[in-house]
């Protein structure tokens, strides 16, 4: 039946057990650290509230947009001071809005809007990333809920603790000092265990190379300069700086640019990312697609195929129907076209990661010595908890198992490019350091 049975039987069915085990597993959280940061942010909010009251000349509930509107527009009458600017707006009622754009415009006129803006920012950080996690906790641990069928691309999604969205946050502390919060460092392994993370490097770009058969792209991955990182390399080329000088942010930007271009970003959007004019941006796109000629051929082929059959297919047979692919409306049609292209690559990457999870899981289940446990999946990254004494041994099996997915006999997958997995370990999820291949170290 449409070749979907194989996908269901060999992948999704097997994954259910894996996800169930992940949901059952307890991820320990450093409750004290969490409490400390919550208190820290709480104090900051209190401070800002006081400042706001002082600036307003009265007490009011800072979180209430109604009360804020009263202070801003009826007491201070700030709208009268900015008639030259376009009226902020009021849609539903005749009221003035207190939305972010309005406050931005008002912040030169009075100290209050700025304080409110900072208050809202800190408040959001606190409620999402600190109190949000705290409310999901039972005793001293959390477990995410994993949704197997919640995305169009075949990726997994996680609910409750927003495990996939945690990041570092900076905000101004007392005067000059800047406080940085690392929500990921709140997550800690059990006593005597270590976190081990395995990442498929540049997985979507490698898949694009395989799918498009672009010679330049293939060369990038097939040549044995395995030491080089593609995005760092491109960043160094574009910025004209040696690769050792490439910062994390440069690499991150290069990555964004590459994916933006191959997924069909317009010149306006790209000029924003690159910080150049739209003309320069479209020139950039042209020269990029000129160098990697087959990429454009691949997107066109994908769109054509989608027009013909109404859906696109990932490398392991997952489908996405795109009924709007033949729409009259330009906006709707081109969006479907970009979605078609994106699905083939992103969906294939999702397939690969799911297979990796199953392989490792069954390997662990049948091992009499290895005790590692799969904790989470963040798209192309698998996070494990490993007994301290087994880190080296498990790391080696993990890496080779994942990289061996270049060929998956059962699903007819034979990638034209090798897969590369990078490993990192740490005593908290927030402080992982790369684990280098022990073989290349010792020789």
Partner DNA sequence: CTAATCTTT
Partner DNA sequence: CGGGAAAGATTAG
Binding of DNA at residue 165 (CB under 7 A)?
A: yes
Binding of DNA at residue 118 (CB under 7 A)?
A: no
Binding of DNA at residue 232 (CB under 7 A)?
A: no
Q: Could you give the CA distance from residue 390 to residue 198 in angstroms, rounded to a whole number?
A: 15
Binding of DNA at residue 132 (CB under 7 A)?
A: yes
Report, in Å, the least distance between residue 411 CB and DNA.
20
Residue 319's CB: how many other CB atoms inside 10 A? 18
> Hey, which residues does 145 pair with through a beta bridge?
159
Report, in Å, the least distance between residue 222 CB and DNA.
18
Residue 44's CB: how many other CB atoms inside 10 A? 21
Close Cβ partners of 189 (under 8 Å, ≥ 6 residues apart)? 28, 195, 385, 427, 428
Pull the structure tokens for residue 261: 């271009």
The residue ranges of DSSP E strands in 314-401, in sequence order, are 319-321, 373-378, 381-387
Report, in Å, the least distance between residue 151 CB and DNA.
4
Cα distances (Å, whole numbers) of residue 31 to 82, 138, 172: 47, 11, 24
Report, in Å, the least distance between residue 17 CB and DNA.
21
Binding of DNA at residue 153 (CB under 7 A)?
A: yes
Binding of DNA at residue 179 (CB under 7 A)?
A: no
Binding of DNA at residue 314 (CB under 7 A)?
A: no
Binding of DNA at residue 199 (CB under 7 A)?
A: yes
Binding of DNA at residue 233 (CB under 7 A)?
A: no
Out of 35, 219, 269, 291, the only residue in the binding site for DNA (CB under 7 A) is: 269
Q: Could you give the CA distance from residue 168 to residue 170 in angstroms, rounded to a whole number?
A: 7
> What value does the CA radius of gyration of the chain take, rounded to a whole number of Å?
25
> Hey, which residues does 378 pair with through a beta bridge?
381
Q: Which is nearer to DNA, 266 or 390 (CB)?
A: 266
Binding of DNA at residue 288 (CB under 7 A)?
A: no
Binding of DNA at residue 379 (CB under 7 A)?
A: yes
Close Cβ partners of 118 (under 8 Å, ≥ 6 residues apart)? 48, 171, 172
Q: Which is nearer to DNA, 257 or 370 (CB)?
A: 257
Binding of DNA at residue 321 (CB under 7 A)?
A: no
**Which candidate, 375, 321, 379, places its Cα nearest to that of 354?**
379
Report, in Å, the least distance between residue 212 CB and DNA.
15
Binding of DNA at residue 259 (CB under 7 A)?
A: yes
Task: Return the SS3 of 296.
Answer: helix
For 141, phi then psi, to 5°, come to: -145, 170
Binding of DNA at residue 63 (CB under 7 A)?
A: yes
Out of 3, 57, 111, 150, the only residue in the binding site for DNA (CB under 7 A) is: 150
Out of 58, 99, 389, 404, the only residue in the binding site for DNA (CB under 7 A) is: 99
- Cα dihedral 300, 221, 252, 203 sign: positive
Q: Which is nearer to DNA, 233 or 390 (CB)?
A: 233
Q: Which is nearer to DNA, 12 or 393 (CB)?
A: 12
Report, in Å, the least distance between residue 32 CB and DNA.
22
What is the CB-side half-sphere exposure of residue 145 using CA atoms within 13 A? 7
Report, in Å, the least distance between residue 366 CB and DNA.
29
Q: Which is nearer to DNA, 281 or 370 (CB)?
A: 281
Out of 118, 380, 385, 387, the only residue in the binding site for DNA (CB under 7 A) is: 380
Binding of DNA at residue 349 (CB under 7 A)?
A: yes
Pull the structure tokens for residue 324: 């709007």
Binding of DNA at residue 95 (CB under 7 A)?
A: no
CA angle 172, 174, 176 (to 5 degrees): 70
**Which candidate, 207, 158, 213, 221, places its Cα nearest to that of 314?**
207
Pull the structure tokens for residue 329: 């409306």
Task: Return the SS3 of 54.
Answer: helix
Q: Could you give the CA distance from residue 170 to residue 218 in angstroms, rounded to a whole number?
A: 39
Binding of DNA at residue 268 (CB under 7 A)?
A: yes
Out of 10, 65, 107, 401, the only residue in the binding site for DNA (CB under 7 A) is: 65
Binding of DNA at residue 42 (CB under 7 A)?
A: no
Binding of DNA at residue 101 (CB under 7 A)?
A: yes
Q: Which is nearer to DNA, 42 or 132 (CB)?
A: 132
- Cα dihedral 372, 373, 378, 379 sign: positive
Binding of DNA at residue 194 (CB under 7 A)?
A: no
Pairing of strands 27-29, 187-188: antiparallel
Report, in Å, the least distance between residue 364 CB and DNA.
23
Q: Which residues bind DNA (CB under 7 A)?
A: 63, 65, 97-101, 120, 123-124, 127-128, 132, 147, 150-153, 155, 157-160, 162, 164-168, 199, 202-205, 255-256, 259-260, 263-266, 268-270, 335, 338-339, 342-343, 346, 349, 378-381
């Amino acid at each position: 039946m449409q070749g979907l049975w194989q996908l269901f039987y060999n992948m999704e069915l097997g994954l259910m057990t894996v996800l169930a085990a992940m949901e059952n597993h307890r991820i320990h959280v450093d409750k004290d650290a969490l409490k400390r940061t919550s208190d820290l942010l709480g104090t900051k909010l209190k401070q800002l509230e006081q400042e706001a009251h002082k600036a307003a000349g009265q007490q009011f509930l800072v979180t209430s947009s109604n009360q804020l509107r009263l202070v801003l527009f009826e007491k201070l009458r700030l709208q009268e001071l900015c008639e030259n600017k376009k009226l902020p707006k009021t849609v539903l009622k005749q009221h003035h809005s207190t939305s972010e754009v309005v406050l931005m415009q008002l912040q030169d006129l009075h100290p209050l809007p700025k304080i409110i803006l900072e208050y809202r920012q800190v408040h959001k950080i606190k409620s999402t990333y600190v109190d949000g996690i705290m409310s999901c906790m039972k005793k001293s641990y959390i477990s995410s809920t994993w949704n197997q069928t919640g995305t169009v691309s075949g990726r997994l999604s996680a609910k409750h603790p927003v495990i996939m969205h945690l990041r570092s946050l900076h905000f101004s502390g007392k005067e000059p000092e800047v406080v940085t919060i690392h929500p990921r460092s709140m997550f800690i392994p059990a006593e005597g265990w270590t976190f081990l993370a395995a990442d498929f490097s540049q997985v979507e770009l490698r898949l694009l190379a395989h799918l498009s058969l672009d010679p330049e792209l293939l060369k990038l991955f097939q040549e044995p300069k395995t030491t080089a990182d593609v995005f760092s390399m491109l960043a160094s080329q574009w910025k004209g700086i040696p690769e050792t000088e490439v910062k994390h942010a440069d690499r991150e930007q290069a990555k964004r640019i590459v994916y933006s271009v191959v997924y069909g970003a317009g010149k306006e959007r790209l000029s924003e990312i690159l910080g150049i004019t739209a003309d320069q941006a479209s020139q950039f796109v042209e020269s990029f697609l000129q160098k990697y000629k087959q990429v454009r051929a691949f997107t066109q082929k994908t769109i054509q195929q989608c027009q013909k059959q109404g859906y696109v297919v990932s490398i392991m047979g997952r489908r996405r129907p795109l009924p709007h692919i033949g729409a009259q409306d330009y906006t709707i049609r081109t969006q479907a076209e970009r979605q078609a292209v994106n699905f083939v690559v992103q969906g294939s990457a999702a397939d690969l990661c799911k297979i990796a999870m199953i392989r490792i899981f069954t390997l662990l289940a049948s091992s009499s010595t290895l005790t590692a446990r799969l904790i989470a999946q963040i798209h192309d990254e698998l996070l494990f908890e490993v007994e301290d004494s087994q880190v080296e041994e498990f790391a080696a099996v993990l890496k080779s198992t994942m990289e061996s997915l270049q060929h998956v006999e059962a699903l007819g997958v034979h990638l034209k490019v090798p897969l590369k997995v990078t490993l990192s370990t740490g005593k908290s999820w927030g402080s992982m350091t790369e684990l280098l291949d022990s073989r290349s170290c010792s020789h």
